[in-house]
Amino acid sequence: MGTPTGGIINHYGELRSFTLKNSPIVVWYSTKYFELVKGYGIDSLYPDIYIEKSIDNYLNGVDSEVDMILETLSN
């Protein structure tokens, strides 16, 4: 319930860095690929129930996901 994760399951990680010679610039790079689900190529994890977030709800302190859960439990 909610919105897509915005990230993928399989990803690069284990970061390392180095500083460029004669420069304060730091370069970060991945050293390992994590394949948590073999062959999984979808861009994100998607919820079974999609709930759109809105700026109005955020500004008014309304949590759409919690409201939906409470509504579902009360039925």
- The string of pLDDT tens digits covering residues 50-72 is 998 899 999 999 999 899 889 88
Task: Classify residue 20 by its DSSP letter.
Answer: P
Task: Read off the pLDDT band of 31 (50, 70, 90).
Answer: very high
Task: Read off the pLDDT band of 40 (50, 70, 90).
Answer: confident
Using the predicted structure, report yes or no on whether residue 26 has a pLDDT greater than 90: yes
Give 57: exposed, middle or buried? Use CB within 10 Å, 0-12, 13-18, 19+. middle
The predicted model scores a pTM of 0.48
Mean pLDDT of 18-37: 95
